[in-house]
Structure 1
Amino acid sequence: MLPSNSKRVTPVLFLTVLFASQSATAQPTAKDIRDVPADLQVPQMTSGNAAPGMRVKQRLPGYPDAVYHALYLPTDWNRNNKYPIIVELAGNGPFTNPYGDVSTGYVEGSKLGYGIASGQKAIWLCAPFVNNAGSANVQTWWGNEPDHDAEPTVTYLKKLVPFVCENYGGDANRVLLTGFSRGAIACNYIGLHDDEIASLWKAMILYSHYDGVHKWSYPESDTDSAKQRLKRLGDCPQLICSEVFDGPTNIAGTRKFIASTQIKVRATYLSTGFRNHNDAWILRPSDARRMLRLWVNENFDANTATP
């Protein structure tokens, strides 16, 4: 059984859980993302004013040029309407592996939010991780070694969501937080840092890694600290995804950790079916992407994703 505090399981969730349970124990002989042609292409980040279908580089008022985020307005954007928001956190960089997977560590390289909604019906924000001084974006973790201060990044997110709601018709009651690798860990480490930031999220999608499963180099990455953050999740549902691989941080390891906390988590588990540590899987048709979108419609907003 999956840990859940929901009182009912719909057919959509049942199918998602079933697929994940089968894939989580599979051996790492899964297909490569390059074997499946992409049907989506993420728009390049450009300078200029925000407009429907454009992904632009922006800065919050009061921040220097080196601290920036990427804003994408959906193709159907209209100033008079309200839209759900997908906030995305990138993986560590610079990263490469033998499969040819790459992560730059910067907002420009993020892909999940675009793939979730296909560039339609939702505002997509790629938020930065900020250094200790709050003066520049960083590629690796958050803050600077050795203390990796999370507060500047937390503060930026607390300002970013209201800014987009006020200026671009974002709906504060429909904000989804997602992240890849470092960003997946940060969904809890940053996104549940305190009660104020935890209250921003209606749902979360975490792809590859989970706060508390492994002890990393930054402070308070231990299990006990992660449990304290997880307590702030409340009723917010999480879709926890991973590529196919053997190791303590895979889906099975994450399920084991969450069960060990004895905290009620509305968690659904999903294998991408690919071997790659690469958020570009979401740009390709697959059973996993279809199930992810069904989960989004069931747990976040019924009109955001087209399975």
Structure 2
Amino acid sequence: MHFNVKKLWHLVLSFLVVVNIGYTNEPTKEGLTTPAMSNGDPARGMRVRQVAPEYKGTEVYHTLYLPKDWEAGKKYPVLVEYTGNRFADAGSSGEVKDANFGYGLSGGKDFIWVCMPYIKKGGQKNEVMWWGDRDATIQYCKDNLPRICEEFGGDISNIFICGFSRGAIACSYIGLSDDQIASFWKGMITHDHFDGHKEWGYPQDGRPYALKRIARLKGKPVLVCGKHAEYLKNYQSLAHFTFLPVPVREIFQIPEGKVIHPHTDMWAHRQSTARQIARDWLLQNAGLN
């Protein structure tokens, strides 16, 4: 979908756009390049580090990306991402700053992209392995997502949660943990794993608990990409599931660049039939197609 420019940037953001034109996030023959996180002020086409007021003075942060076509005063759908675990064999750091999935899905346009943290116990850092302080992680999203939408034009009625690996599980384990947080989501996109696929050893990870969480979707659309979620085919009354195999080894000649393992959050950075299906699904459900 294309947006016509009808309004001028307000002065500050216009200036920021001019001075930050050095980013690289256009499609190339090699695919998309996720913008590196910066410490600057939010501006279109930039991914910036933000610290919530409750965590001022700590190392806890989230990232905010405003799409290349962002204009002040307009409303945009939002992608909220949770990252995978730290897993060196797959090139996953577990860090918020290294998230890729949401950028690949959107291509850097049309959607505000937010990567939320898992809060480490003690509340001083982000957690790179599993959930840390789960309650604090849930509350962080509840507090900050409405703020981000209000300040930057996110459409609170058009938010999609997404995640890879640990993040795919988090879409439900965090994102559907209670009715309040579940009410944020218009839909969900996961890649490789899903809540309830297996028991990992953390509290309430069994399938009966997972099914109770998934029921909070109340029939909303879910795009289930990749592997380790096949059991959901037996519970299609809980949500509108679409299953999308992703042939990562056909998309990349592994190891290739940053893609060193088929378990990757970067598969949507390169053109493929799977990516086109995922983008079409997202645009359609967001009302942009």
- What is the TM-score normalised by the length of structure 1? 0.78
Matched with 1:120 is: 109
Matched with 2:125 is: 136
Q: Secondary structure at the match of 1:279?
A: coil
Measured in 2, the distance between the counterparts of 1:49 and 1:212 equals 39
Deviations 1:173-218 (A, max 9, x none): 1101000000000101000000000000001100100000110021
Tell me, yes or no, if the aligned pair for 1:56 and 1:70 is still in contact at 8 Å.
yes
| 1:269 aligned onto 2:243 | yes
Q: Give the superposition deviation at 1:38.
A: 2.9
Matched with 1:281 is: 267
Tell me, yes or no, if the aligned pair for 1:89 and 1:179 is still in contact at 8 Å.
yes
Matched with 2:3 is: none
Deviations 1:114-162 (A, max 9, x none): 111111111110111112333320000111xxxxx41111001111210
What one-letter code is carried by the residue in structure 2 that aligns with 1:282? A
| 1:188 aligned onto 2:172 | yes
Matched with 1:75 is: 68
| 1:55 aligned onto 2:29 | no
Deviations 1:212-244 (A, max 9, x none): 0110021111111111111111122100001xx
What one-letter code is carried by the residue in structure 1 that aligns with 2:194? Y
Tell me, yes or no, if the aligned pair for 1:38 and 1:285 is still in contact at 8 Å.
no
Matched with 2:281 is: 295
Tell me, yes or no, if the aligned pair for 1:86 and 1:176 is still in contact at 8 Å.
yes
Q: Secondary structure at the match of 1:77?
A: coil
Q: Which runs of 5+ in 2 are unaligned?
A: 1-27, 250-261
Q: Secondary structure at the match of 2:266?
A: helix
Tell me, yes or no, if the aligned pair for 2:67 and 2:110 is still in contact at 8 Å.
yes
Measured in 2, the distance between the counterparts of 1:118 and 1:227 equals 32
Measured in 2, the distance between the counterparts of 1:264 and 1:230 equals 7
Measured in 1, the distance between the counterparts of 2:275 and 2:158 equals 21
Q: Give the superposition deviation at 1:75.
A: 1.1
What one-letter code is carried by the residue in structure 1 that aligns with 2:223? L
Tell me, yes or no, if the aligned pair for 1:133 and 1:152 is still in contact at 8 Å.
no
Q: Give the superposition deviation at 1:262.
A: 6.7
Q: Which runs of 5+ in 1 are unaligned?
A: 1-35, 144-148, 243-249
Deviations 1:221-274 (A, max 9, x none): 1111111111111122100001xxxxxxx35xx23x224447432000011111
- Report how many residues are paired: 249
1:82-93 to structure 2, matched below 5 A, reads: 82-93=75-86
Measured in 2, the distance between the counterparts of 1:77 and 1:37 equals 25
Of 12, 15, 32, which aligns to 1:40?
32
1:236-247 to structure 2, matched below 5 A, reads: 236-242=220-226
1:114-263 to structure 2, matched below 5 A, reads: 114-143=103-132, 149-242=133-226, 250-251=227-228, 254-255=229-230, 257-261=231-235, 263=237
Deviations 1:90-113 (A, max 9, x none): 0000x133xxx3000011111111
Measured in 2, the distance between the counterparts of 1:137 and 1:271 equals 31
Matched with 2:59 is: 66
Matched with 1:20 is: none
What one-letter code is carried by the residue in structure 2 that aligns with 1:273? P
- What is the TM-score normalised by the length of structure 2? 0.82
